[in-house]
């Protein structure tokens, strides 16, 4: 196993002082499939006295097309998002992979257009993954009002290797007095989602997610927490399928977005899906 303190390929970033307002860039997956996680992230930020601006015209960072080998389509979509953040506020993304796309790959897809490239770079510079923002900028520190519980944490590969934030999730959980974090085997290994990979190579994707679910369950933790909705859906939908196939009515591995978990533990009211 590689060292758990690996800081990612990029130099550690410096963080701004706490702003009066932020933009919230939810990502397409959150908007349509896990909106409650987005809502809980917004509530967390507002509870800290930060005004949250939700640009209505947001859709997607372009990553699905980019990573599938359709850079031109990714570029069109990304270009349509460049105007959404006119004020000089940080942009908060509740997902490591989308944050990584904006922070590191937008500059590449606009490399041959200086004007767009400059605007993309300006957006990238103030884009933060939610967990790193909560820890480093907000200084999240709330009393844990929940019962003692053991959870396990999955960090997305983008958060770990592009955003260098996997220790951030651990630190946030460590600030909850009644939460014990159980580490799982092969923790730094991918859950097997990989966007279109899960559709294009189902055999290998299934093998990977089954191994990940088994490792998470083996900790005996009551639930898995993750700051990335792609991984969250991959892991929990796999666990649900295993429960279904085994005829279990009680979920063997429930999962929550880190935002939902933090909000629920610290006296907040998580959003309901319906």
Q: Does 217 bind other proteins (CB under 8 A)?
A: no
Alpha helices in the chain (DSSP H): 28-32, 35-47, 63-68, 71-81, 96-100, 106-109, 114-125, 130-132, 157, 166-174, 197-200, 202-217, 229-246, 258-265
* DSSP label at residue 222: S
79 vs 73: CA distance, rounded Å: 10
For other proteins, the binding residue among 119, 214, 240, 268 (CB under 8 A) is 240
Nearer to other proteins, 101 or 179 (CB): 101
Candidate segments 59-67, 132-140, 144-152, 257-265, binder of other proteins by CB under 8 A? 59-67
Instruction: Kindly tell me which residue out of 16, 21, 51, 54 binds other proteins, with binding defined by CB under 8 A.
Output: 54
Q: Which parts of 2-21 interact with other proteins (CB under 8 A)? A: 2-3, 5-7, 9
Q: Which stretch binds other proteins (CB under 8 A): 14-22, 60-68, 114-122, 138-146?
A: 60-68
Is 273 a residue that touches other proteins (CB under 8 A)? Answer: yes
Should residue 32 be labelled a site residue for other proteins when binding is judged by CB under 8 A? yes
Q: Which of 10, 200, 222, 248 binds other proteins (CB under 8 A)?
A: 200
Regarding 201 and contact with other proteins (CB under 8 A), the answer is yes
Q: Is 36 in the site for other proteins (CB under 8 A)?
A: yes
Residue closer to other proteins by CB (options 29, 176) is: 29
**Site for other proteins (CB under 8 A): which residue of 190, 215, 224, 262?**
190
Contacting residues for 239 by C-beta, under 8 A, at least 6 apart = 213, 217, 251, 252, 253, 254, 255
Give the nearest distance from C-beta 238 to other proteins in angstroms. Answer: 5
Among 116, 193, 225, 257, binds other proteins (CB under 8 A): 193
Q: How many residues bind other proteins (CB under 8 A)?
A: 79
Cα 52 to the center of its chain, rounded Å = 18
**Separation of alpha carbons 77 and 237, rounded Å:** 28
Q: How far is CA 264 from CA 3, 64, 81, 94, 199, in A?
A: 32, 31, 32, 17, 33
DSSP-derived pairing of the beta strands 179-181 and 149-154: parallel
Residue 79 binding other proteins, by CB under 8 A: yes
Q: Which residues between 114 and 173 bind other proteins (CB under 8 A)?
A: 157-158, 160-162
Of the residues 237, 248, 252, 267, which one makes contact with other proteins according to CB under 8 A: 237
Nearer to other proteins, 77 or 176 (CB): 77
CA 148 to CA 46: how far, in whole Å?
Answer: 26
Q: Which residues of 158-188 are buried (b: 16+ CB within 10 A; e: fewer)?
A: bbbbbbbbbbbbbebbebbeebebeebeebe
């Amino acid at each position: 196993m590689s060292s758990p303190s690996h800081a990612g390929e990029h130099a550690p970033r410096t963080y701004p002082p706490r702003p009066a307002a932020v933009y919230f860039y939810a990502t397409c997956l959150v908007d349509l499939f896990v909106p409650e996680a987005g809502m809980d992230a917004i509530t967390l930020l507002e509870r800290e006295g930060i005004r949250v601006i939700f640009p209505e015209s947001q859709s997607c960072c372009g990553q699905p097309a980019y990573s599938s080998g359709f850079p031109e389509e990714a570029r069109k979509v990304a270009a349509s998002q460049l105007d959404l953040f006119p004020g000089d506020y940080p942009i908060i993304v509740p997902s490591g992979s989308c944050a990584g796309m904006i922070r590191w790959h937008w500059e590449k897809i606009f490399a041959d257009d200086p004007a767009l490239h400059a605007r993309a770079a300006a957006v990238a510079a103030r884009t933060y993954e939610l967990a790193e923002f909560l820890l480093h900028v907000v200084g999240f520190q709330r009393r844990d009002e929940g019962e003692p519980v053991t959870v396990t944490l999955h960090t997305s590969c983008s958060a770990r290797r592009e955003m260098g934030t996997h220790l951030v999730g651990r630190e946030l959980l460590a600030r909850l007095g009644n939460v014990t974090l159980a580490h799982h085997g092969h923790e730094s290994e991918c859950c097997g989602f990989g966007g279109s990979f899960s559709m294009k190579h189902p055999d290998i994707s299934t093998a990977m997610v089954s191994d990940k679910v088994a490792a998470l369950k083996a900790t005996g933790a009551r639930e898995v927490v993750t700051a990335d909705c792609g991984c969250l859906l991959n892991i929990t939908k796999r666990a649900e399928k295993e429960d279904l196939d085994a005829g279990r009515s009680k979920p063997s591995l429930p999962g929550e977005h880190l935002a939902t978990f933090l909000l629920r533990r610290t006296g907040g009211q998580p959003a309901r899906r319906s």
